[in-house]
A and B are shown apart, each in its own frame.
Chain A
Amino acid sequence: MSTKINASMSLAKPDSQAISKTQKIAVALGVVGLFIMALALFNVEFPNKTLFLSLSLGLITIGTIVFSNDAYLNKQAGIKNDGVWFKSITSMGLWGWVLGIVLTLFYIVLYFKAEWFGLAADGGANGGLVALFDPLSRLLNGGPASQWFVYGTLYTVAILIFGYKFMLKYRHNRYEQLRTISVMFFQLAFAFLIPEFMARLNSETFSLPYYDLKNIWPLNYYNFDKYRVDSMIEAGDIGLAFLIFGIVSIFVISPILTYKYGKRWYCSWVCGCGGLAETAGDPFRHLSDKTQFAWKVERWVVHSVVVFVTLMTTAVIYSYLGHDSSKYWLTKDIFLLGVAGLLTLVFALVMIFKRKELAKDAKYGAIGYFVIIMVLIGMHYFSGTKDVFLVNTNFLKSSYGFLIGAIFSGVIGVGFYPIFGNRVWCRFGCPMAAVLGFQQRLFSRFRITTNGGQCISCGNCSTYCEMGIDVRAYAQKGENIVRSSCVGCGICSAVCPRGVLKLENDSMKGRINSNDILLGNDVDLMDLVNQK
Chain B
Amino acid sequence: MEHIVIIGNGISGVTAARHIRKLSDKKISIISAETEHFFSRTALMYIYMGHMKYEHTKPYEDSFWKKNRIELKFAYVTAIDTTTKTLQLDNNEALNYDKLIISTGSKSNKFGWKGQDLKGVIGLYSKQDLDQLEAIAPNKEVCKRAVVVGGGLIGIELAEMLHTRHIPVTFLVREDNFWDGILPIGEAQMINRHIISHGIDLRLKSNLKEITADENGHADGIVIEETGEKISCNLVGLTAGVSPNIDMIKRSAVETDRGILVNRYLETNIEDVYAIGDCAQQREPIGNRKPIEAVWYTGRMMGETVAQTICGNRMPYNPGHWFNSAKFFDIEYQTYGWVFPTPKEGHAHFHWKHDDDLKCITIEYYLESNLFLGINIFGIRMRHEVFDRWLTEKRTTDYVIKHLKEANFEPEFYKTFEMEILRAYSEQFKMV
Chain A CB within 8 A of B56 CB:
yes
Pairwise interchain contact A15-B140, C-beta atoms closer than 8 A: yes
* Inter-chain contact B51/A76, CB cutoff 8 Å: no
Is the CB of B131 closer than 8 A to any CB of chain A?
A: yes
Q: Is the CB of A1 within 8 A of B139?
A: no
The residue from A15, A462, A473 contacting B56, defined by CB atoms under 8 A apart: A462
- Complex formed: what's the CA distance from A17 to B138 in Å? 12
A460 to chain B minimum Cβ distance, whole angstroms, is: 6
Contact check, B308 vs A3: say whether CB atoms are below 8 A apart. Answer: no
Contact A459 B40 (CB under 8 A): yes
* Contact of A520 with B56 at beta-carbon distance under 8 Å, contacts A292-B61, A460-B43, A497-B327 already known: no
Contact B61 A83 (CB under 8 A): no
Given A76-B197, A453-B297, A522-B317, 7 new contacts (CB under 8 A): A1-B55, A6-B53, A453-B384, A457-B59, A498-B334, A504-B412, A521-B305
Cα–Cα distance between A292 and B297 once the two chains are bound (Å): 26
- A3-18, CB under 8 A of B: which get 1 and which 0? 1111001111111110
Instruction: Give complex CA distance A14, B55 in Å.
Output: 19
| Interface assignment of B98: CB less than 8 Å from any CB of chain A | no
Residues of A within 8 A of B319 (CB): 520-522
Whole-angstrom distance between the Cβ of B423 and the nearest chain A Cβ: 22
> Chain B residues with Cβ under 8 A from A460's Cβ?
43, 46, 51-52
> Can you offer 20 A-B residue contacts whose CB atoms are under 8 A?
A1-B56, A1-B58, A13-B138, A453-B297, A454-B297, A456-B325, A457-B43, A457-B59, A458-B43, A458-B52, A458-B57, A459-B43, A459-B56, A459-B58, A460-B51, A498-B325, A498-B326, A498-B332, A502-B381, A520-B384
Stretch at the interface among A106-114, A133-141, A173-181, A386-394: A173-181
Contact of B412 among A11, A503, A523 (CB under 8 A): A503
Q: Taking the nearest CB of chain B, how far is it from the CB of A95, in angstroms?
A: 15
In-complex Cβ contact of B384 among A9, A87, A452 (8 A): A452
Let me know if A529 and B304 touch, CB within 8 A. Answer: yes
Choose the segment among A40-48, A332-340, A434-442, A511-519 that binds chain B (4+ C-beta atoms closer than 8 Å): A511-519
- A490-B411 contact, Cβ under 8 Å, with A456-B296, A459-B59: yes
How many interface residues does A have (CB within 8 Å)? 70
Interface residues of A in 11-33 (CB under 8 A from B): 11-17
- Residue B318, interface by CB 8 Å: yes
Q: Which residues of B have CB within 8 Å of A17?
A: 50
Asked if A189 is at the interface of the complex by the 8 Å CB criterion, the answer is: no
B320 contacts the other chain (Cβ, under 8 Å)?
yes
Q: Is the CB of B139 within 8 A of A10?
A: yes
Interface string of A141-179 (1 = CB under 8 A from B): 000000000000000000000000000000011110010
A371 to B59, CA, bound (A): 38
Interface residue? A82 (CB, 8 A): yes
Q: Which of A85, A456, A528 touches B51 (beta carbons < 8 Å)?
A: A85
Which residue of chain B lies nearest to A516 when distances are taken between CB atoms in the complex?
B22
A-chain residues with CB within 8 Å of residue B384 when the two chains form the complex: 451-454, 519-520
The 5 tightest CB contacts between A and B, nearest first, are: A452-B384, A78-B330, A522-B318, A10-B138, A499-B381
Which among B139, B297, B321, B334 is the interface contact of A12 at CB below 8 angstroms?
A: B139
CA distance A451 to B377 in the complex (A): 14
Q: Residue B323 at the A interface, CB < 8 A? A: yes
The residue from A76, A82, A473 contacting B330, defined by CB atoms under 8 A apart: A76
Q: Which residues of A contact B60 (CB under 8 A)?
A: 1
> Interface code B176-213, partner A: CB below 8 Å = 1, 0 otherwise?
00000000000000000000011000000000000000
Interface residues of A in 455-501 (CB under 8 A from B): 456-460, 462-463, 472-473, 476, 490, 493-495, 497-499
Roughly how many angstroms separate A497 CA and B329 CA in the complex, as a whole number?
A: 10
Q: CA separation between A472 and B384, bound complex, in Å?
A: 18
Closest chain-A Cβ to B301's Cβ sits at a distance in Å of 5
Question: Are B334 and A14 in contact, with the CB atoms below 8 A?
Answer: no
Query: CA–CA, A174 to B57, complex, Å?
Result: 28
Residues on B with beta carbons closer than 8 Å to the beta carbon of A10:
134-135, 138-139
Give the CA-CA distance A87 to B49 in the complex, in Å: 12
- B166-A15 in contact (CB<8A): yes
Query: Do the beta carbons of A521 and B301 come within 8 Å of each other?
Result: yes
Q: Are A175 and B411 in contact (CB under 8 A)?
A: yes
A502-B407 Cα distance, complex, nearest whole Å: 12
**Cβ of A291 under 8 Å from chain B:** yes
**A10-B135, A456-B42 given; A82·B58 CB < 8 A:** no
Give the shortest distance, in Å, between B324 (CB) and chain A (any CB): 8
Asked if A243 is at the interface of the complex by the 8 Å CB criterion, the answer is no
Q: What is the bound-complex CA distance between A497 and B327, given in angstroms?
A: 6
Q: Which of A6, A453, A524 contacts B323 (CB 8 A)?
A: A453
Complex contact B141–A459 (CB within 8 A): no
CB <8 Å contact, A81 and B50: yes
Given the complex of chains A and B, what is the CA–CA distance between A72 and B412 in angstroms?
A: 23
Residue A51 lies at the interface, judged by CB distance under 8 Å to chain B: no
| Nearest neighbor of A6 in chain B, beta-carbon distance | B53
Expressed in whole angstroms, the Cα–Cα distance for A517 and B11 within the complex equals 14
User: B165 at interface (Cβ–Cβ under 8 A)?
Assistant: yes
**Chain A residues whose CB sits within 8 angstroms of the CB of B19 once the complex forms:** 516, 529
Supposing A15-B166, A452-B383, A502-B409 touch, asked if A459 and B139 sit within 8 A by C-beta, the answer is no
- By the criterion CB–CB under 8 Å, are B164 and A82 in contact? yes
A531 touches B (CB below 8 Å): no
Question: Which residues of B313-370 have CB atoms within 8 Å of chain A's CB atoms?
Answer: 313, 315-321, 323, 325-327, 329-330, 332, 334
A367 within 8 A of partner (CB): no
Is A217 an interface position by the 8 A CB rule?
no
Q: Flag whether A84 is at the interface (Cβ < 8 A).
A: yes
Please determine whether A456 and B40 come into contact, CB atoms closer than 8 angstroms.
yes
The answer to whether B57 touches A459 (Cβ under 8 A) is: yes
A84 touches B59 (CB 8 A): no
Q: Which of B50, B166, B330 contacts A85 (CB 8 A)?
A: B50
Report A-chain residues with C-beta under 8 Å of the C-beta of B113: none
Contact with A along B18-46 (1 / 0, CB 8 A): 01001000000000000000001011001
A83 to B164, CA, bound (A): 8
B411 touches A519 (CB 8 A): no
Name the CB-closest residue of B to A176.
B411
CB contact between A458 and one of B22, B46, B61, B141 (< 8 Å): that residue: B46
Most chain B CB inside 10 Å of its own CB: which residue of A6, A85, A173: A85
B409 close to A451 (CB less than 8 A) = yes
Given contacts A15-B141, A174-B413, A525-B304, contact A84 B50 (CB under 8 A): yes
Say if the beta carbon of B300 comes within 8 Å of chain A.
yes
A178 neighbours in B (Cβ, 8 Å):
413
For B308, the chain A residues whose CB sits under 8 A away are: 525, 528-529
Say whether B388 faces chain A, with CB atoms less than 8 Å apart: yes
Report A-chain residues with C-beta under 8 Å of the C-beta of B381.
451, 499, 502
Min Cβ gap A445→B in Å is 13
Tell me, in angstroms, the Cα distance from A459 to B40 when the chains sit together.
8
B134, A525: Cβ atoms under 8 Å? no
Task: Contact check, B165 vs A15: say whether CB atoms are below 8 A apart.
Answer: yes
> Are A452 and B385 interface neighbours, CB within 8 A?
yes
The answer to whether the Cβ of A248 comes within 8 Å of any Cβ in the partner chain is no
When chains A and B are docked, how far (Å) is the Cα of A117 from the Cα of B107?
63
Residue of A nearest to B134 (CB): A9
Question: Is A203 an interface position by the 8 A CB rule?
Answer: no
Are B412 and A81 interface neighbours, CB within 8 A? Answer: no
Contact indicator per residue, chain A 74-103, by CB within 8 Å of chain B (1) or not (0): 001111011111110000000000000000
Cβ-defined contact, A520 with B409, below 8 A: no
Contact of A9 among B43, B131, B166, B320 (CB under 8 A): B131
Candidates B51, B383, B415; contact of A82 at CB < 8 Å: B51
Point out the residues of chain B lying under 8 angstroms from A476, CB to CB: 59
Residue interface bits A366-398, CB-to-B below 8 A is 1, else 0: 000000000000000000000000000000000
B242–chain A nearest beta-carbon distance, Å: 16
Across the two chains, which residue of chain B brings its CB closest to A462?
B56
Assembled-state Cα–Cα distance A227/B166 (Å)? 61
CB of B194, distance to nearest CB on chain A (Å): 9
Q: Let me know if B429 is at the binding interface, CB within 8 A.
A: no
Bound CA–CA A1/B315 (angstroms): 33
